[in-house]
């Protein structure tokens, strides 16, 4: 966090109502986690220096940008989920940010208002809010939640007592009537966002926003494609970080930097340069999203000698593998296209959800995986339940699979390392 000490952001954090001593402690801990997990890696791509910089300024420069944006009347919308289309927010002149989670924080306070056996993602975001250590939620004029799982659905009720929250209803199936229902929800979201920003979405602004967000996805697709090479040109940990930062960063700048990283990775592939020996076991991870700074499983796998070559998760392929068609001419057409694209994301909240199984098997083949690790946060019912279907599908094609249920704590790292090492040896 050395850069944060060059510019003193404490006055800004104080203005945001953060609990400064606790927040300092948090930044110190995340900085140490980042150093241990990331800066110890060998032969990292040059392009990662941008993401190192972003991490060093994770609650600094980017928050300052949001702060300045809001000072000129800009509106920031905080989200936790892919089903809140960034295109709509941007077309109305707003900015989207992901909210803090990914680390155990403030659980004592959280357990006074929700069950102990709530998944780590939910406990974490509530803990960050209750402990006043998340500048992103403080900079959010509105949090847009969704009904993707029982836990988040009810947690937004609690968050609504503390912050301005709007909940978008996601249907639970993928039939035409469900897509139509979600399309209706997007229409209501449009009204809500336009009212907030005071700007009307036009065909031009929406077309531009679709292009811009697609460009971000295309950059991530380029990075993802290089990971199919052997040796892999980038660690899974670094690729995960790239996706995690996509939720926070300025869109055009981020896209530009990720395209530079992709250029470098493509050169590496052409030159046979990698970050791990070609003999390293190649792992596809699937399951619950990994919010920044949750790098635990990737770190364990890669410190055990494996290499993560893909993530079928919301902080992975689900984020970037599908584009919104860019040929819409009217706002209504483009909203239809957005609704169709987002309803084509295969979250475990849907029933049935064969599309996700198909995605996992396809990706395993595309990235030449030697094995799959199915990752779920404890008490994440949709992914924990679906893990059994994933396991069966992997077994049917003879692909080794390891199921891991965990949380954000460091307590089980030893035990998980043992299991992962055994899995890597076995495959």
Q: Quick check: 154 binds a copy of itself (CB under 8 A)?
A: yes
Strand partners, 307: 282
Tokens representing 43? Answer: 């032969």
Candidates 104, 109, 141, 178: give the one binding a copy of itself (CB under 8 A): 178
φ and ψ of 145, to 5 deg: -95, 180
Closest separation between CB of residue 192 and a copy of itself, Å? 14
Candidates 139, 249, 321, 405: give the one binding a copy of itself (CB under 8 A): 405
Q: Quick check: 334 binds a copy of itself (CB under 8 A)?
A: no
Q: In what order do the strands lie in the sheet with 401-406?
A: 307-312, 282-287, 371-377, 401-406
Q: Which is nearer to a copy of itself, 215 or 407 (CB)?
A: 407
The answer to whether residues 142 and 165 touch, using CB atoms and an 8 Å cutoff, is yes
Q: Quick check: 203 binds a copy of itself (CB under 8 A)?
A: no
311 closest CA partner among 277, 287, 338: 287
Q: Which is nearer to a copy of itself, 191 or 198 (CB)?
A: 191
Measured torsion, CA atoms of residues 57, 58, 63, 64, in degrees rounded to the nearest 10 = 0
Candidates 256, 368, 381, 417: give the one binding a copy of itself (CB under 8 A): 381
By rule CB under 8 A, what count of residues binds a copy of itself? Answer: 40
Tokens representing 274? Answer: 């990698």
Tell me the pairing of strands 95-98 and 165-168: unpaired
Radius of gyration of the chain (CA): 20
Closest separation between CB of residue 384 and a copy of itself, Å? 4
Q: Which is nearer to a copy of itself, 29 or 114 (CB)?
A: 114
Q: In what order do the strands lie in the sheet with 142-146?
A: 95-98, 76-79, 142-146, 165-168
Q: Which is nearer to a copy of itself, 8 or 411 (CB)?
A: 411
Candidates 63, 258, 309, 348: give the one binding a copy of itself (CB under 8 A): 348
Closest separation between CB of residue 409 and a copy of itself, Å? 17
165 closest CA partner among 191, 140, 134, 198: 140
Q: Which residues bind a copy of itself (CB under 8 A)?
A: 113-115, 117-118, 147, 149-151, 153-158, 167, 169, 171-173, 177-178, 181, 184, 348-349, 351-353, 378-379, 381-382, 384-389, 405
């Amino acid at each position: 966090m050395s850069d944060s000490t060059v510019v003193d952001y404490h006055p800004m954090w104080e203005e945001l109502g953060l609990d400064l001593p606790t927040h300092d402690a948090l930044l110190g801990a995340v900085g140490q986690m980042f150093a241990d997990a990331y800066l110890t890696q060998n032969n990292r791509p040059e392009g990662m220096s941008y993401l190192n910089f972003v991490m060093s300024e994770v609650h600094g420069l980017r928050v300052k940008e949001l702060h300045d944006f809001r000072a000129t009347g800009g509106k920031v919308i905080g989200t936790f989920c892919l089903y809140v289309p960034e295109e709509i927010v941007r077309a109305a002149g707003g900015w989207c940010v992901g909210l803090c989670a990914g680390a155990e924080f403030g659980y004592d306070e959280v357990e006074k208002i929700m069950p102990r056996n709530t998944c780590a993602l939910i406990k974490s975001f509530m803990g960050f809010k209750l402990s006043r250590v998340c500048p992103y939620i403080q900079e959010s004029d509105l949090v847009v939640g969704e009904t993707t799982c029982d836990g988040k659905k009810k947690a937004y009720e609690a968050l609504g007592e503390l912050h301005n929250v709007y909940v978008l209803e996601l249907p639970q199936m993928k039939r035409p009537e469900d897509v139509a229902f979600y399309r209706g929800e997007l229409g209501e979201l449009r009204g809500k966002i336009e009212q907030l920003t005071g700007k009307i979405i036009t065909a031009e602004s929406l077309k531009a926003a679709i292009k811009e967000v697609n460009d971000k996805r295309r950059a991530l697709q380029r990075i993802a494609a290089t990971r199919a090479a052997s040796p892999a040109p980038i660690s899974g940990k670094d690729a995960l970080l790239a996706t995690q930062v996509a939720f926070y960063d300025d869109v055009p700048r981020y896209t530009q930097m990720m395209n530079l990283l992709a250029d470098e990775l493509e050169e590496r592939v052409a030159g046979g340069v990698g970050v791990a020996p070609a003999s390293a076991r190649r792992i596809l991870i699937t399951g619950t999203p990994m919010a920044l700074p949750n790098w635990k499983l990737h770190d364990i796998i890669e410190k055990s000698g494996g290499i993560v070559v893909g993530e079928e998760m919301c902080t992975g392929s689900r984020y970037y593998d599908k584009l919104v068609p860019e040929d819409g001419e009217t706002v209504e057409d483009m909203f239809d296209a957005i609704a169709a694209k987002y309803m084509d994301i295969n979250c475990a909240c849907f029933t049935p959800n064969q599309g996700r199984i198909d995605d996992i098997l396809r990706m395993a083949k595309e990235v030449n995986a030697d094995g799959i690790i199915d990752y779920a946060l404890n008490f994440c019912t949709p992914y924990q339940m679906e893990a059994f279907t994933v396991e069966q599908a992997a077994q049917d094609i003879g692909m080794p699979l390891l199921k891991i249920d965990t949380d954000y704590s460091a307590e089980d790292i030893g035990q998980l390392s043992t299991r992962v090492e055994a899995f890597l040896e076995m495959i």
